[in-house]
Amino acid sequence: MKKIWKGLLIFSVAALGAACGGESGDDAGDAGAAEAAEMEAARADAGGDAPGDMAGGVMEADWIAVDHDGGTVTIELIAGETATNSGWNFNGYLGGETTVVVPEGYEITINFRNDDPVNYHSVAVLDTQATWPPMFNEMVPVFDGAITSNAGSANESTPPGGGSEAVTFTASSAGAYALVCVVPAHAMQGMWLDFEVSADGEAGLR
Ligand SMILES: [Cu+2]
């Protein structure tokens, strides 16, 4: 009797092992594929900020006015310009899919306007991050003044329906940053763009 039970137990364990092994193998395969895709996306993202891409072409954009003689850049930044991502976009872009490039040392003015008919939005220049938290504990912009008022508030930042605010700051240090809406959950949901301060005078959109 004991032997039979032992045999059954061994058989059961083996069968269980085979079943689990087979299933977890599939899971591992799926997870592996998802992970690979994620890593590929991460690599693509990282590639956008890689030094090799710094030499890449910069396009003009009608919402970025560059005055090299005066050392200024004026950016007409519009939240909710399109319905993309429920209006949680800047000039129709989101999720770092475009990079605003300004030269180091220039005085930057962001004329921020919120055309979203429903939600409050904001903008701040922050250090770039791989992922954004739902809430920002500290909202200290990387350059003095590079943040709209009450930026973290969902009902006291720049109001929907055409509310506007201009912020001016000096892009004093070259590097990779981000233009981020810091209203809770907005950045996490894609409301951010890459913002590059170039050491070589490049300006525009990449
Ligand atoms: Cu927002």
Q: Is 121 helix (H, G, I), strand (E, B) or coil?
A: strand
Tokens 């962001």 found at:
110
pLDDT at residue 109 in the model? 98
- At residue 57 the predicted structure's pLDDT band, cuts being 50, 70 and 90, is confident
Tens-digit pLDDT profile for residues 144-181: 999 999 999 999 999 999 999 999 999 999 999 999 99
Give the span between the Cα atoms of 203 and 201, in whole angstroms.
6
58-205 fold: Immunoglobulin-like (2.60.40)
Question: With pLDDT > 70 as the criterion, what percentage of the chain qualifies?
Answer: 73
Pairing of strands 192-198, 163-170: unpaired
For ligand 1, the distance from its centroid to the CA atom of residue 202, given in whole angstroms, is 28
Domain boundaries of the chain, sorted by first residue: 1-49, 58-205
Q: Rounded mean pLDDT of the chain? A: 82
For ligand 1, the distance from its centroid to the CA atom of residue 61, given in whole angstroms, is 22
For ligand 1, the distance from its centroid to the CA atom of residue 189, given in whole angstroms, is 9
pLDDT at residue 196 in the model? 98
Tens-digit pLDDT profile for residues 70-83: 999 999 999 999 99
For ligand 1, the distance from its centroid to the CA atom of residue 88, given in whole angstroms, is 5
Phi, psi of 183 (to 5 degrees): -65, 135
Question: With pLDDT > 90 as the criterion, what percentage of the chain qualifies?
Answer: 70
Predicted confidence (pLDDT) at residue 4 exceeds the cutoff of 90:
no
For ligand 1, the distance from its centroid to the CA atom of residue 90, given in whole angstroms, is 9
For ligand 1, the distance from its centroid to the CA atom of residue 191, given in whole angstroms, is 6
For ligand 1, the distance from its centroid to the CA atom of residue 97, given in whole angstroms, is 16
pLDDT at residue 17 in the model? 40
pTM: 0.73
* 61: number of Cβ within 10 Å: 17
For ligand 1, the distance from its centroid to the CA atom of residue 15, given in whole angstroms, is 53
DSSP E strand stretches across 33-162:
64-67, 72-79, 99-103, 107-114, 124-127
